[in-house]
Amino acid sequence: MNEKAYVISIFNLPKLSYRMWLVWRRNFDVFMKTYLVNFIPPLVEPLFYLVGLGYGLGGFVQPQEGLRYIAFIAPALVAVSMMYSSFFECTYASFIRMYYQKTFNAIIATPVNLEEVIAGEILWGATKSFINSSIMLVVVLIFGLITSPLFLLIPPLSFLIGILFASIAMCFTAIIPNIDSFNYPSFLYITPMFILSGTFFTITGLPQPIQIFAKIFFPLTHAVALSRALALGRINSSLLFNLGWILIAAPVFFIAAINLMKRRLIK
Amino acid sequence: MSQNTDDALIKAKNLTKKYRDFTAVDSINFGISNGECFGLLGPNGAGKTTTIKMIQCVLPLTAGALMVAGMDVTKRSREIKAMIGIAPQEDNLDPDFTVVYNLVVYARYFDIPKTESLARAGQLLKFMQLEEKRDVLIGNLSSGMKRRVILMRALINQPQILILDEPTTGLDPQARHLIWDKIKRLKKQGVTIVLTTHYMEEAAHLCDRMLIMDNGKIIEEGNPETLVKKHVGEEVLEVAYDEKVMDYLKSSFPEAKLEIVNDRIQVFSSQPRGLFTEILDKFSFKGAILRNANLEDTFLKLTGRRLRE
Ligand SMILES: Nc1ncnc2c1ncn2[C@@H]1O[C@H](COP(=O)(O)OP(=O)(O)OP(=O)(O)O)[C@@H](O)[C@H]1O
Ligand SMILES: [Mg+2]
């Protein structure tokens, strides 16, 4: 295969059917078996951030965009939980299912095809984003940090954003040699994104090149902007750019993830 | 048991699989008839699992053609997979679930509703004598029990073709006989069975026909009894190793093939019974036996005694 054909083949349209939901359902069933255990970490972790950073650090920080610090970071933390839950679901957890448990091998022996397995995994990653960020949203709501009914749009948005992060994660899963290699995307991509996406300080305070870099390469920038706007009812036209970025990137990475995984698994 | 591959249920023509430059299956031809138990034998790395994975539509062919029930594996994989039950060589049971839930979730991939899959699971658990492990997590089963669960899972969609890749490896004799019994019953019901195994006794016992592969090529094909007769003969003489006996055998019977295995001399000859009495007369020693030639002799003769890396 020459280089051009190789690149094009990454964007072949996958053959999908309702069967991808059977794969989703398998993961959902595992989740529900131990749902109590599964709900606690996403409930506790944001509390630490809110209390520690919001109240603790907030005492030293000047208001950001005219908001108390805790009200500034709260919707961003909701977006961060979308990123973390879907990204880690489709890196470590998917890799374990694929490589150690051979779950994908078992499923593709049935009428479900490999494309549907990967799509189901990504949909499940998106669902984790929905679940965890919704829990977080409730916490933030209880803290009285939400001021607009538009916040009700955040859960559906969390699914879309979840698809994007899960797909990016799955692309890494398709190319890494072993599970330890996830350290690279985690520390070199996810951690800087966590810090530099307008989460804990406005992105406009950063040097111009970093701002541009963040807008191009850090989907979290867009997720934070949308989440904050909906939680606080601050709607403006730049949100169209944020939403458009996600709407374009999500299907592109979704399709690329499926094709890269096929390349990894079909010898 | 037709050798005519035109009406075969599974038909391979110049089937080839390369992993990069390495040829794992090298242009093989075979036909498996409806309702037969077909053995795929061969040393480690012969290409058995690779062949099976192509039949079950999870591994693309490099060249050649492969048809299952008249359908091309490269075009109609979903329909073919729906009619196949597979017990893979590797353990890929779902460790996150119990035994019964493994069956239910797997059945769901075939669109079998839960009431139906639970009923089938109940019957299979009973048959495999694993009822008391119904609600045990996979990780808490012994490896032999896992093999049995894998077999149950292969049957949950009531397949027309059952593919068993080393189904009895690691099983105790009781469980092995249980599975043989099940395989024979399924065969009576008309299920076509493709079996790989390293136990020659098992292959001889179950298979109507078999092919022996080595290095990706078919080296022999046929009915087990016929193969034994053709390559080894009726009987084999075994004598405890002794230099005098060895010298005697070599000089008196240049046509006989002698193999030293575990301090015993195995004598393959067209008239072993005569040899046997002669040797007894000459040396009058104990420990010489004359036994029926078996498939293991045939297999070793055809594939050599060298270990596969
Ligand atoms: N994914 C792969 N990539 C490269 N080579 C492979 C791959 N899978 C199998 N092979 C090679 O193909 C050959 C045939 O392997 P296969 O698994 O079909 O053997 P087998 O007959 O099933 O052996 P065994 O009795 O040990 O199960 C072996 O040499 C093996 O190393
Ligand atoms: Mg094998």
The pLDDT tens digits for A96-144 are: 999 999 999 999 999 999 999 999 999 999 999 999 999 999 999 999 9
Q: What does the pLDDT read at residue B122? A: 97
Task: Work out which ligand 1 atom sits closest to the CA atom of B308.
Answer: 26
Residues B107/B156, Cβ–Cβ less than 8 Å: yes
pTM greater than the 0.95 cutoff: no
> ipTM of the predicted structure?
0.91
Kindly report, residue by residue over B46-86, the tens digit of the pLDDT: 999 999 999 999 999 999 999 999 999 999 999 999 999 99
Give contacts of B84 with chain A, Cβ < 8 Å: 109
**Residue B2 — very low, low, confident or very high, per pLDDT cuts 50/70/90?**
very low
Q: What does the pLDDT read at residue B306? A: 66
Give contacts of A22 with chain B, Cβ < 8 Å: 108-109
Q: What does the pLDDT read at residue A159? A: 98
- Counts for chain A of helices (H) and strands (E), in that order: 13, 0
A window 101-120, beta carbon within 8 A of B: 101-103, 105-113
**Best residue for ligand 1 mutational test, from B16, B18, B40, B48 (most atoms within 8 Å of Cβ):** B48
How far is C-alpha B199 from the geometric centre of its chain's CA atoms?
Answer: 7
Mean pLDDT value of segment A192-212: 90
Tell me, in angstroms, the distance from the centre of ligand 2 to residue B194's CA: 13
B266 lines ligand 1 (CB under 6 A): no
pLDDT above 50 for A24: yes
Highest mean pLDDT among A40-54, A139-153, B279-293: A139-153
Instruction: Say if the Cβ atoms of A106 and B84 lie within 8 Å.
Output: no
List of domains in chain B: 10-223 (3.40.50.300), 233-292 (3.30.70)
What is the rounded CA–CA span in Å between residue B283 and residue B141?
54
Q: What does the pLDDT read at residue A257? A: 97
Ligand nearest to the CA of B58: 1
Mean pLDDT value of segment B229-258: 80
Beta strands B84-87; B161-165: pairing state: parallel
**Residue A94 — very low, low, confident or very high, per pLDDT cuts 50/70/90?**
very high
What is the percent of chain B with per-residue pLDDT over 90, rounded to a whole number?
64
What is the rounded CA–CA span in Å between residue A148 and residue A140?
12
Beta-bridge partners for A232: none
A61-70, A242-251, A252-261, B107-116: segment of lowest average pLDDT: A61-70
Beta-carbon contacts of residue B193 (< 8 Å; ≥ 6 apart):
B36, B37, B38, B161, B162, B163, B164, B183, B186, B187, B206
**Residue B108 — very low, low, confident or very high, per pLDDT cuts 50/70/90?**
very high
Tell me, in angstroms, the distance from the centre of ligand 1 to residue B183's CA: 25
Q: What does the pLDDT read at residue B286? A: 63
Q: What does the pLDDT read at residue B5? A: 46
Instruction: Say if the Cβ atoms of B93 and A106 lie within 8 Å.
Output: yes
Residue B35's H or E segment, with its range, is: none
Q: What does the pLDDT read at residue A60? A: 85
Residues B252/B281, Cβ–Cβ less than 8 Å: no
Q: What does the pLDDT read at residue B4? A: 47
Tokens representing B44?
């480690």
Beta-carbon contacts of residue A142 (< 8 Å; ≥ 6 apart):
none
Where does residue B33 fall: left (phi above 0), alpha (psi -120 to 50 degrees), or beta otherwise?
Answer: beta
**Residue B156 — very low, low, confident or very high, per pLDDT cuts 50/70/90?**
very high
pLDDT above 70 for B1: no
Give contacts of A25 with chain B, Cβ < 8 Å: 108
Give contacts of A110 with chain B, Cβ < 8 Å: 81-82, 106, 109-110, 157
Residues B203/B251, Cβ–Cβ less than 8 Å: no
Task: Work out which ligand 1 atom sits closest to the CA atom of B42.
Answer: 21
Which residue ranges make up each domain of chain A?
A: 3-265
Higher-scoring residue by pLDDT: A47, A26 = A26
